[in-house]
Amino acid sequence: MKTNLSVNIGKLKLKNPVMVASGTFGYAEEFKDFIDLKSLGAVVTKTITLAARKGNPAPRTCETPCGMLNSIGLDNPGWETFVKEKLTSLKKLAVPIIVSIASETGAGEFVELARRIDRIKEIAAIELNISCPNIHKVHGSCLPAGKAGFIVHGKEIETQLIAQDPVSTYKVVKAVRAVTNKTLITKLSPNVTSISDIASAAESAGSDAVSLINTITGMCINTQTRKPKLGAVTGGLSGPAVRPVALRMVWQVYKKIKLPIIGMGGIIDSQSALEFFIAGSSAISIGTANFVNPKSTIEILKGLEGYLIKHNLKDINQLIGSLNL
C-alpha cells in the first residue's frame, strides 16, 4: 500500500514529518557519514545570534536517569560566520533548511536576524527560539533569582524570558512577522504556568506554527564535592524523562490553537513518535536521540511508514490529533 508522509507547516511542505531538533544535529555536516541527509523532512540548525557566543562555562552536559542535562548557552559562531562557513553546505542538502535564531539584546536582534534571513531564498523557514533556558549565565554572572534574561558587558538586558509571558511573546512574534514572509515557527518553553496561553499569543501575532517543548530547567549535584555537575549550575533536561510532560503540553496546545505543532521531547523510536502525532503534532523533531543513535531519524521514519501500512492508513495526517478519549 502506498502511503503519504508529507505534511504542511505553514507555507512549507515537507516530504515527511521527521525533523532534527536545533542544537542536536549541528549544521548537518556532522551526521553525513551516518545517514542520508536527503531522507529527512527538514533540518533545524543550531541556534544562531548576531554576534558569536562562547556559551556557558564547562562542564556543559551530564547524564541523568532517562535523559541528560545540557547548559551549552547557545554557543555559536554568529551570523556572519554562519553565512560564510555553514550555510554553503546546508544549501546543498536538498531538504528544507530551518534556521533557529535567538537574541542577546532583546526583540531588535530577532527582527534583524529575521530580516537578513528573509533575503536568502535557500532558507525555508525561521525557528524563533524565545525559550532557551540556558542563556541567563554569561561569563560567570547570574541574574537575580527568579529572573531570566541576558547580561551583556556587565549590563542587565531584558529580565523576563519572552516565552514565559504571552504579551512579550506576542510583541516579539509580531515584530518578526512584519519583516519576513518565510514560514515562522515559534519555539515554546515548558517552564510556564500555561503553555496554551503562550501558544495562543504566538498564533495571534502571526506565527505559522509552534514547536514544543524546549528543555525543562533542572540541576544535578556531585555529592562527593557538593558542587553542581554543570558549570552554569542549572541546565535543560531532555530525553525520555520529559516525554510525558511534552505529550501533555502538545495535547493541550492542540486543543487551543489551529496552527501546526512540531512536537519534541524524548522521542527515541517510532512508538514514541506516534504518541506525538496522536496527541496533535503535525511533525516531530528528534533531539537527544541523535546523540545516542545517529540513525534514529531514519529508523523512526521507517517505523512510521510501517505503522500506517499495518493499520491500513494511507496518510500520516489521519493520525494527527486522533486521541481516543
For the annotated catalytic residues, the residue numbers are: 132
Cβ burial 277-294 (10 Å sphere, 16+ → b, else e): bbbbbbbbbbbbbbeeee
- CA-CA-CA-CA torsion sign (284, 290, 291, 296): positive
Cβ burial 218-238 (10 Å sphere, 16+ → b, else e): bbbeeeeeeebbbbbbbbbbb
CB of 3 closer than 8 Å to CB of 21: no
CA distances from 303 to 31, 48, 166 (A): 20, 32, 37
- CA-CA-CA-CA torsion sign (124, 289, 269, 303): positive
Please give the Cα distance from 242 to 173 (Å, whole number). Answer: 26
How buried is 321 (Cβ within 10 angstroms: 0-12 exposed, 13-18 middle, 19+ buried)?
middle
- CA-CA-CA-CA torsion sign (33, 35, 40, 45): negative
Please give the Cα distance from 174 to 302 (Å, whole number). Answer: 38
Please give the Cα distance from 126 to 135 (Å, whole number). Answer: 20
Strand partners, 151: 156
Residue with cell 554568529: 78
CA 33 to chain centre: 23
